[in-house]
């Protein structure tokens, strides 16, 4: 299905394309040895801004669009195809307690664990699945280590489309259950490379619609879905009263969320809604982007990776789109260890009342490092994107908590249990 204007363009060479079914990156750059994602072309100019935060009513008297689809004019999908579970419009919370202990006066957390399937992937999947309906796709397929699969399965269910999910053994049971309960056909294969290869055959031979990346080396995911992440930027700016933070930290594997959020800020600047852009920071477990920046290379470096509590970002290779967001914004990439991450998960929950997935709380480890390494000033506004809820993997958390003491219902035993298990001795008479 060809149209007369370019609807996708290459993030590296700028070549425009008319075919909406391009999910393997720029063919021109691939010939030159670069694996680069395409990005949706939307008309963005200063004239777009006045109606941008428009009211959410629908003309036919149906309930209004809220959350992500409040920004439907900035999405690459016809309004008749919108598939929504109420994603977006998540809270931006000021972390007073944690911020004070880290010497940060304006530390904020964008709590994406509040989305319908408890991760920011819902923003991506709402747009990707809406586009699948517009393109008359019959079957949606995806390769995932967890959250992306759960979200795709849920939105495919809502859209009435079949969904085949490829995953690897090293995924928490909670997430496998989530994917299956939404009606997806969940298939486990030995390695990440295996799932990409099998998925690619299904796309080539059966015409299935991909909701994730499947190229090796990776280019990133379906460019239509990435547009959904722009709304994280829109919401942050709206929630900060119309200004941009100094820093935005995004847990990063292949950089769909990092690039999508960055694109949102750039659009706001182009529309004159903000006068300056934030620096984007990739929070990485193993650091392919950190390594690439260190080397000053245009090709993303491969680093060694192993299994990790941060299973959603336990990758040793990243993408051009992620690198582009970091370079354009003058940002950086920083890593944290499993031990640091689990400590932060506990600290965040116990000091702020927020339970984030290990792969998400790493954004706060990196916030702390920005401050201790001197990159962020004490009064800089720093936004950490908490990409997913801790409920996705309670088993890993339970391992760092003491078994709850079981006692006879007597004060003496209570006193002993509080002291011995929790070191709690005050306020006991
Ligand atoms: Zn290109």
Average pLDDT, the chain: 93
Q: How confident is the model at residue 62 (pLDDT cuts 50, 70, 90)?
A: low
Provide the residue ranges of all domains of the chain, joining segments of one domain with +: 92-114+225-398, 119-223
Query: Edge-to-edge strand order for the sheet containing 8-10?
Result: 16-17, 8-10, 38-40
State the pLDDT at residue 170: 80
Give distance in angstroms: CA of 200 to centre of ligand 1: 21
**Model-level pTM?**
0.95
Residue 171: what pLDDT?
Answer: 82
Question: In CATH, what class is 119-223?
Answer: alpha beta
pLDDT at 48: 64
Give the pLDDT band of residue 59 (cuts 50, 70, 90). low
State the pLDDT confidence band at 18, using cuts at 50, 70 and 90.
Answer: very high
Q: How confident is the model at residue 1 (pLDDT cuts 50, 70, 90)?
A: very low
pLDDT of amino acid 350: 97
Report how far ligand 1's centroid is from the alpha carbon of 425 (Å). 64
- Which residues in 45-102 belong to E strands, given as ranges? 92-94
Nearest to 220 by CA among 36, 33, 15: 36
As a whole number of angstroms, the distance between CA 171 and CA 176 comes to 7
Topology match between the domains 92-114+225-398 and 119-223: yes
Using the predicted structure, report yes or no on whether residue 393 has a pLDDT greater than 80.
Answer: yes
Q: How far does the centroid of ligand 1 lie from the alpha carbon of residue 32, in Å? A: 9
Give the Å distance between the CA of 26 and the centre of ligand 1: 5
Compute the distance from residue 194 Cα to the ligand 1 centre, in Å: 26
Cα-to-centroid distance, 47 and ligand 1 (Å): 29
Radius of gyration of the chain (CA): 22
**Cα(36) to centroid(ligand 1), Å:** 6
Compute, in angstroms, the gap from residue 41 CA to the centroid of ligand 1: 14
Confidence of residue 57 (pLDDT cuts 50, 70, 90): low
Query: Is the Cα dihedral 244, 260, 323, 294 positive or negative?
Result: positive
Q: Does position 55 have pLDDT exceeding 60, yes or no?
A: no
* Residue 281 burial class via C-beta count within 10 angstroms: exposed 0-12, middle 13-18, buried 19 and up: buried
CA 239 to ligand 1 center in whole angstroms: 35
* pLDDT one-digit tens code per residue, 116-175: 999 999 999 999 999 999 999 999 999 987 899 999 999 999 999 999 999 988 888 888
High-pLDDT (> 90) share of the chain, %: 83
For residues 105 and 94, give the distance between their C-alpha atoms in angstroms, rounded to a whole number. 9
Q: How far apart are CA 420 and CA 424, in angstroms?
A: 8
Is pLDDT of 261 > 60? Answer: yes
CA of 27 to the centre of ligand 1 (A): 7
Ligand 1 centroid distance, CA of 4 (Å): 20
Predicted confidence (pLDDT) per residue in 191-223, tens digit: 888 999 999 999 999 999 999 999 999 999 999
**Interval 355-381 mean pLDDT:** 97
Whether the per-residue pLDDT at 86 is higher than 80: the answer is yes
Residue 262 Cα to ligand 1 midpoint, Å, equals 19
Residue pointed to by tokens 């299956």: 180
- CATH code reported for the domain at 92-114+225-398: 3.40.50.1100
Residue 360: which of 72, 138, 90 has the closest Cα? Answer: 90
Q: Tell whether the model's pLDDT for residue 224 goes beyond 80.
A: yes
Centre of ligand 1 from the C-alpha of residue 74, in Å: 23
Decide: 187 and 159 in contact? Cβ < 8 Å: no
Residue 228 above 70 pLDDT?
yes
Q: What distance in angstroms lies between residue 322's CA and the mean position of ligand 1's atoms?
A: 15
Does the pLDDT value for residue 51 go beyond 80? no
Which pLDDT score is estimated for 342? 97
Residues with CB under 5 A from ligand 1 (ion): 10, 12-13, 26, 28-29
| Distance (Å) from CA 205 to ligand 1 centroid | 25
- Ranking 62-66, 120-124, 373-377 by mean pLDDT, the lowest is 62-66
Strand pairing report for 162-167 and 332-335: unpaired
Q: What is d(CA 396, CA 285) in angstroms, rounded to the nearest whole number? A: 16
Cα 59 to averaged position of ligand 1 atoms, centre (Å): 40
- Average pLDDT over every residue of 404-411: 96
- Residue 101, pLDDT score: 97
Distance 12 CA to ligand 1 centre (A): 5
What's the rounded Cα separation, in Å, for the pair 26 and 10? 6
Q: Is the pLDDT of residue 34 over 50?
A: yes
**Residue 271 pLDDT level (bands cut at 50, 70, 90):** confident
| DSSP conformation class of 68 | G
Flag whether pLDDT at 46 surpasses 90.
no
Q: Which residues contact 76 (CB under 8 A, 6 or more apart)?
A: 7, 40, 42, 127, 131, 224, 227
User: What's the average model confidence in pLDDT over 351-374?
Assistant: 98
Position 52 scores a pLDDT of 59
Max intra-chain CA distance, the chain = 80
**For residue 2, what pLDDT is reported?**
45
Q: 30 C-alpha to center of ligand 1: Å?
A: 7
* Ligand 1 mean position, distance from CA 34 (Å): 8
């Amino acid at each position: 299905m060809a149209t007369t204007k370019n609807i996708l363009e290459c993030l590296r060479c700028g070549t425009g394309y008319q075919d909406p079914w391009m999910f393997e990156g720029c063919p021109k750059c691939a010939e030159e040895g670069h694996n680069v994602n395409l990005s949706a072309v939307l008309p963005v100019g200063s004239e777009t801004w006045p109606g941008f935060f428009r009211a959410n009513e629908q003309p036919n008297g149906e309930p209004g669009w809220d959350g992500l689809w409040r920004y439907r004019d900035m999405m690459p999908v016809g309004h008749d195809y919108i598939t929504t579970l109420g994603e977006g419009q998540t809270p931006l919370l000021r972390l007073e307690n944690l911020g004070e202990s880290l010497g940060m006066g304006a530390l904020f957390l964008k709590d994406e664990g509040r989305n319908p399937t408890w991760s920011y992937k819902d923003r991506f999947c709402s747009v990707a699945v809406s586009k699948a309906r517009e393109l008359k796709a019959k079957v949606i397929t995806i390769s995932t280590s967890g959250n992306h699969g759960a979200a795709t399965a849920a939105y495919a269910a809502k859209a009435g489309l079949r969904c085949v999910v490829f995953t690897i053994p090293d995924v928490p049971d909670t997430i496998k259950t989530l994917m299956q309960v939404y009606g997806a056909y969940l298939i486990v294969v030995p390695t990440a490379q295996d799932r990409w290869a099998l998925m690619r055959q299904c796309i080539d031979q059966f015409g299935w619609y991909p909701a994730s990346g499947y190229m090796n080396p990776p280019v990133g995911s379906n460019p239509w879905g990435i547009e959904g992440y722009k709304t994280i930027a829109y919401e942050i700016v709206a929630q900060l009263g119309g200004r941009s933070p100094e820093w935005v930290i995004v847990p990063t594997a292949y950089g769909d969320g990092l690039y999508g959020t960055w694109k949102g800020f750039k659009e706001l600047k182009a529309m004159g809604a903000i006068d300056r852009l934030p620096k984007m920071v990739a929070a990485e477990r193993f650091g392919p982007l950190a390594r690439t920046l260190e080397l000053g290379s245009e090709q993303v470096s491969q680093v060694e990776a192993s299994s990790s509590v941060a299973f959603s970002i336990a990758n040793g290779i990243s993408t051009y789109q992620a690198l582009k967001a970091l370079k354009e914004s003058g940002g950086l990439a920083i890593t944290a260890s499993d031990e640091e991450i689990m400590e932060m998960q506990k600290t965040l929950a116990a000091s702020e009342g927020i339970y984030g997935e290990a792969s998400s709380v790493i954004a706060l480890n990196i916030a702390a490092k920005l401050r201790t390494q001197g990159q962020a000033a004490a009064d800089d506004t720093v936004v950490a994107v908490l990409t997913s809820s801790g409920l996705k993997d309670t088993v890993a958390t339970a391992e760092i908590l003491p078994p709850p003491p079981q006692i006879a219902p007597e004060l003496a035993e209570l006193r002993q249990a509080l002291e011995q298990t929790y070191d709690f001795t005050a306020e006991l008479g």
